[in-house]
Structure 1
Amino acid sequence: MSGVASTRQQEVQRIVDSLSMAIAQHRLKPGMRLVEAQIVDVLSANRNHVQAALQRLALQHIVTIAPNRGAKVARPEAREAREVFIARRAIEHAILAGITIGKMALHNDEIEAHLQAEEVAAASEDRRHIIRELSQFHLLLANISDNRVLSEMFSNLMVRSSLIVALYQRNDTPDCQCQEHRAVITALRAGEVARAQAIMDEHLRHIEQQLELDDAPPPPITLRDALLVSW
């Protein structure tokens, strides 16, 4: 691969990551228009790279693109919401199956730092902070499992899950799930994968129970403000 092609891919990925993170943290809401010129301006990006990033996100069902109407953050329907959580359960089962006692020991400091960060976020009652840390727990497990294919699939599902939660969650502030996360970690440290999977199933069921699967209009926020917020 030439240096030019590599640089282009890195730049497109940067834009994809920026938009995905803004969606995952509920800064970009379901149905929000993604104006190319604003993305170019805010992210200091090339328009061609922005278009390529939006096309990639559309293939991942994170963004929708309509002829003559441009791109929008996807607005998943109730059926898709249920199907995404079915897929999440399957993928997270596979992720947990790949985590050994040795891998847990290798990542012990990172795990403890994250669990403490979750508690700090819960105490802050800051919705965005809580969402970021709770989501990061699941991504951390995917990283510990060390399966790149599962991690790529799961990253997409996490962003789509965030869209669903933003659209359908009953409560303004997510319930603290720190104890459920600690229970998963305790089981994995003991090598009890089946128990960890059962706890994760119940954990995801708890998240689903907080959803009202009917449409709701997204709160007002501009694309510029959403992208300018630091991660």
Structure 2
Amino acid sequence: MASLTSAIVEHRLPPGARLTEAKLVEVLSANRNHVRAALQKLASETKVVSLIPNRGAFVAKPTAEEAREIFSARMVLERAIVELAVTNLTPRNHNRLLKQVDKEREAIARQDRQQMIRESGNFHRLLADISGNRVLGELLEGLITRTSLIIALYQETFDVKCSIGEHQAVAEAILRQDRDEAIRLMDHHMDDIQNHLLLDESEPEVDLRAALLQI
């Protein structure tokens, strides 16, 4: 269900939003069985939907621990993808990368936040495609979706423009075929995104004895 995934990735559906089957059937003009199967697939494969017994389907709310694990896994993938992208920098791929950077600049000029989010993801998808490793691309696609959900949950004021600026630096290093610098910049980019997330904030500890005995 591409339209539902896109709505989650682009922050049009926030974490915790209820996904009522009847409403999805109506809005998407889809068969109820197809909607149910799609929700189950999103819950089991990409983990962006949570199915709660007797309550229904909701946009997932990843824990801080899950967020850290996702960023750790994505860091490994991104490094491998960048290294392969430098190796596979054909004239065609050179032009594709330049065009993608231009698309991101255009989205910033229009102040179109959803388009900025979309093109930000497309930059990473393009690098995976240039890498030539389809398995890495498939793995990255799932992590991009989950990363976007984490950003929506833990940092509502995430500055997409800064992220896109870092993309340009990565792209320039790849275009120079400076492998080490491209990897370093990608590491910095992923660290910067994670550092803007409020993953260390914890719920205040409740004194159950004091609460129950009104001490």
- TM-score higher than 0.5 here? yes
* Larger-Rg structure: 2
Task: Report the count of equivalent residues.
Answer: 200
Aligned counterparts, 1:38-187, within 5 A: 38-59=23-44, 60-169=46-155, 171=157, 173-187=159-173
Q: Does 1:207 align with 2:193?
A: yes
Question: Which amino acid is the alignment partner of residue 43 of structure 2?
Answer: A
CA distance in 2, matches of 1:191, 1:109: 14
Identify which of 10, 13, 16 aligns with 1:25.
10
Question: Which amino acid is the alignment partner of residue 165 of structure 1?
Answer: I
Question: What is the deviation of 1:67?
Answer: 1.3
Farther off after superposition, 101-110 or 144-153: 101-110
In structure 2, the partner of 1:194 is 180
Asked if the contact 2:82–2:131 (Cα under 8 Å) also holds between the matched residues in 1, the reply is yes
Cα-to-partner distance string for 1:5-62 (whole Å, 9 max, x where unaligned): xxxxxxxxxx1x2211111111111011111111112222111111111111111211
Asked if the contact 2:25–2:32 (Cα under 8 Å) also holds between the matched residues in 1, the reply is yes
CA distance in 1, matches of 2:91, 2:4: 33
Question: What is the deviation of 1:190?
Answer: 2.6
CA distance in 1, matches of 2:188, 2:51: 35
CA distance in 2, matches of 1:186, 1:139: 17
Asked if the contact 2:116–2:161 (Cα under 8 Å) also holds between the matched residues in 1, the reply is no
| Alignment CA distance shift 1:147-1:101 (3 Å) | closer
Which protein, 1 or 2, shows the higher relative CO under an 8 Å CA cutoff with sep ≥ 6?
A: 1
Percent sequence identity is 46
CA distance in 2, matches of 1:104, 1:77: 41
Asked if the contact 2:43–2:50 (Cα under 8 Å) also holds between the matched residues in 1, the reply is yes
Asked if the contact 1:95–1:141 (Cα under 8 Å) also holds between the matched residues in 2, the reply is yes
CA distance in 2, matches of 1:149, 1:102: 16
Unmatched 5+ residue regions in structure 1?
Answer: 1-14, 216-231
CA distance in 2, matches of 1:208, 1:100: 25
